[in-house]
Amino acid sequence: MIKKTLLLLITLCSFIVYSQDSKKPNIIMMIGDGMGISQISSSMYSSNNYTPLERSEFIGLSKTHSLDNLVTDSAASGTALSSGVKTYNGVLGLDENYNPVKSILLSVKDMAYNPDVKAIIVFSNSGKSAKLVSAMRPAAKIVTISPNINVSRQVSLLWGVQSINSRDANGWKDMMSISKEIIKKLRFIKKNDFVVITAGLPFGKAGMTNMVRLYKVGS
């Protein structure tokens, strides 16, 4: 339990803030690949004692070493970052007792079973993200957005999916702009309803689903 404390502390603080402010938190987690204390220090020393990290309101430090080794591998560190649970080198998505742990996509599913969440908007270039979300059979309606007409036609055959062929987002603000325009056209979504928006970063490239936002319509 001690080894999980630092990473889980960030999550717990988010819930505490939520309970005090009674507002839905909007959390964006940016992860630097292979970025440790020494890399941050080197960047700071070469940039006149400044790093872009200082523009962020909140900065967290996560120790992602594996359970059995201070030198971690991609599987163990990826599990720690995506779920807040440490595991062994060579083990992906399982805890120390080899029980499955939840990833971002499963968190999307949990949010989608909230009765106030009316839809999941999935930005998907290749259709992979749409297939993963559909496979989880969430209660909320799934709306996929893809710039590829062939992908849009294919994913429209998936369970619970309404597919929309649209241009791809070129950034975070553009993604929200596209989402809001589509939400206006969806009659089953009303003001103050919640929508889960998920995508893969960077935009414009097919890859893993690594971003999720809970958006309140009209906010």
Q: Which are the catalytic amino acids?
A: 74
Gap between the terminal Cα atoms of the chain: 38
Strand order in the sheet with 161-165: 161-165, 141-146, 117-123, 194-199, 211-216
Count of residues in the chain: 219
Can you point out the beta strands (E) in 18-174?
117-123, 141-146, 161-165
| Separation between Cα atoms, residue 17 and residue 187, nearest integer Å | 33
Cα-trace Rg, the chain: 19
| Separation between Cα atoms, residue 52 and residue 208, nearest integer Å | 25
